[in-house]
Structure 1
Amino acid sequence: MTAKTPATTTAQRLLKDREEVAERLLQASVRHSFDPERELDWEAPFDEGKWFWPPELLSLYGTPLWRDMSDEQRRLLARTESAALASIGIWFEIVVMQLLLRHIYDKPVTSKHVRYALTEIADECRHSMMFSRFLAKSGTAVYPVSPFIQNVTRIFKSCSNTATSLIFTLLCEEVIDWMQRLTFADDRIQPLVRGVTRIHVIEEARHVRYAKEELRRQMAESGRLERRLTCAVTGELARVFARAFVNPNVYPDCGLDRRTALAQVRASDHRREVLRKGAARLSALLDEVGALDSRGRRVWREAGLL
């Protein structure tokens, strides 16, 4: 009888672990999946006294501009930034769906890992429709990412390796998830916004688990060259995220000077602390799996994520 090599044993263990994680996630999906069309009251009017986003999480909170803004302007900024986040959310979900389809393209179609990926894609479809309906109801403009980000991402989603695809997914999910956990529990916030963020948080928790476990497996199996590539791209993803996370068009739409607002956001210690807290779990994971080198850490600091 031929003895198994250590490499073969490790590969089989990783595949077994992959199926066990997928099985648990599939079971959780059966128990905790939501239809936003039925779960949320889309016909109820907005409450005039409620915020659309926690003021402490707004980009200008604590800046000189914020101190000079009227309460009406601050609430308008909250409404506009919540719409910008919903717009980014749709862009992000569409990219993630394409990355997931690439990931499972050559995987065994009867595996639980593939079945869960298809389940997650269905979740992301519902999330995109939910964000779209919220945007239509909010009465604000739609805030797509810039043409530059759109085209850079077009290349990335076609050429990225699996590890960097997962890191991109986690970067967007973890920061927004941290903010949404503070939002859906906050009774100052519009009931519809709390409902949207609650559904998203519960379902995204599964998506984050799937991505984190697969990233660990991918990094464990990758060679030196692929690890170097992953580290290089991970650093650049921070630049893309920082440029996409707040759409500068929200400021003139709130009666503010775009250049002044952007300068104050970039100089804001409070804003950097919000981003650091949002990215803390991911940055710890990237250190654990060896996906952040010294250059990547410098770029993440410049982007406010470390």
Structure 2
Amino acid sequence: MTSETVPAKVEEPELKTEVKKAPIAVGLPVFIFVLFGLIYAGFWASSWLQDEQRLPVQEIVFSGNLKQLSAPELERIVRKDAKGSFFALDVNQVHQLMEEQPWVFSASIRKRWPSKLYIHIIEQTAVAKWNDDLLLNRYGDTFEGRIRYQTNTENVVDSLPQLYGPGGSEKTVLTGYTHMQRLLNGSGQQIKQLVLSERFAWQAKLGNNMVLKLGRQEYINRLQRYIDVYPLITKQEKPVKYVDLRYDTGLAVGWHESANVNQPRNNT
């Protein structure tokens, strides 16, 4: 018998691939260079976007029914006090600036790319003069205002009723005026002046300068009493100076001195 010898299996050594890493001495300077490049680019871009000469607000467009306000004047205020490029301009600052103007009731601001600023204005509506130095809007809020226009030959502010009252009573007086005037409309009479005293007593002066003394309580009922006897008063040839309605029933009429009557006359 012959014996066969099986050759032993010889394992080949594994080939290991070595990846050479860049030396830290080379990689770190490159990283720092790139980082500083990005920082510089960021600062340059920010400076470019905020440069008013390169990206100015070229046009400011106003909308709204402007009667007392002038769009060119408002634009001058914006460009003077809210400077900056299109991107840097703070719309909140412009909004605050607009609502600080006396005749502005509210304002809304928006930007439109690439260079326009839109400002919508709602003007105040003056319904009365208040204590000689302010105006009242329909909500009873006071504001300072100077009329810039005229309708026909009559100045709009001069035609407004004059209301007087203690500080903080603006809404109360305006409400009282509204109710009284609504009641007087049927007889074609207008309230020229309405006063609420420190003791909260009402007194109204009509367009014909007749004074109505209404007192503190039930002024609407007392005014209705005047309206009921108004046709009788108009029939009198004597000019009426005042009508005192501060009675539970009846009223007193005071005549002008030219009527040669020195004492009030009671009417029921």
Q: Same fold (TM over 0.5)?
A: no
Q: Which structure would you say has the larger Rg?
A: 2
Query: Which protein, 1 or 2, shows the higher relative CO under an 8 Å CA cutoff with sep ≥ 6?
Result: 1
* Structure (1 or 2) with the greater strand fraction: 2
